[in-house]
Amino acid sequence: MTTPQYYHIPVMPTEILTAMQVSPGGRYVDCTLGEGGHTAVILEASAPTGKVLGIETDSEALKVANKRFETVPSNRVTMIHGSYTNIGAIAGSQFPESINGVLMDLGISSFQLESSSRGFTFQKDQPLDMRFNPEQGITAEHIVNHWDEQDLANAIYSYGEERYARQIARAICSQRPLSTTGELSALISNMRKRGRQAPIHPATRTFQALRIVVNQEMQNIKEGLNQCLVLLETGARIAVISYHSLEDRIIKRFFRDESKSCLCPKEVVICECNHIARLKIVEKKPLRPTLTEINSNRRSRSAKLRVAEII
């Protein structure tokens, strides 16, 4: 498939094809279509009759994907504006065949960082929006300007793992209203000058936390994975790429728990939970990108790929 240069370089494409056991004629769901990087790889590996259902919450990214695949037969790729938290309903109505594999790439795309104007990066002065779907939900500006100091500090600490969460929340509340990423980034940078300098930009973790809260990312991961358990049949595989410890922890625990036949506490001698194992963990440890890939795509360096199979 020949395409022009697009913004997002798909992470670990070879590992994804192996993990999902992509083969000619297979049927796959790309839950985070983006600009279509992984979908393009899957379409090529599943040719000539393989099919991909792509789901994307960002309408701007979806336009890019539609342009990218406009010459691909419509019976091979279907693209839907929606969230993977509704994968059950979407797949049921748009992709009725049994599914061989599902992919979730949880990272923010280069397109969103570089080409949207929704404030995903502190390197540009943009409105404090941060919504993947600009048509719904609260904005980062609302959180920054209306949440009380304690709730704001808790969010920055929990989702950004920021040790200076309380100080940052206090500084934000003292300087309200804030309306742009530049204002927020400068505020955090000036406050952090008094402390030890971090190896990353002082605003990195706060921006991460706000984006996670705005888009309910942690809750969405759990909901999407739960729906996959109901949707998929025996032998289908779930591949999930995460980029920070909070995401990876959720995926690891979900795969671990759903691969067990009992979830009772250790002190319970006879099982009382009646839990049934639905998954088999394919790789005990997460797969990581090669050094060659990291050198050519720096944004892949923190990626972890976990794989499980429906039993």
pLDDT, position 192: 76
pLDDT, position 7: 56
pLDDT, position 195: 52
pLDDT, position 4: 45
Task: Provide block-wise average pLDDT over 10 residues at a time, the chain (311 residues).
Answer: 58 96 97 95 97 95 94 95 95 90 89 81 92 91 97 97 96 96 95 67 94 95 95 97 94 96 86 91 95 93 97 96
pLDDT, position 288: 97
Task: Give domain 13-112+217-310's CATH superfamily.
Answer: Vaccinia Virus protein VP39 (3.40.50.150)
Tokens for 39? 């979908």
- For the chain, the domains span 13-112+217-310, 118-215
- Please tell me the distance from the alpha carbon of residue 304 to that of residue 197, in angstroms, as a whole number: 27
Residues 6+ apart with CB under 8 A from 266: none
Angle value at C-alpha 98, between 97 and 100, nearest 5 degrees: 125
pLDDT, position 108: 82
pLDDT, position 57: 94
Whether the Cβ atoms of residue 266 and residue 128 lie closer than 8 Å to each other: no
pLDDT, position 194: 52
Whether the Cβ atoms of residue 35 and residue 68 lie closer than 8 Å to each other: yes
| DSSP bridge partners of 102 | 29, 238
Tokens for 15? 């590992």
Task: To the nearest 10°, report the CA torsion of 48, 53, 59, 62.
Answer: -10
Q: Which CATH class is domain 118-215?
A: mainly alpha
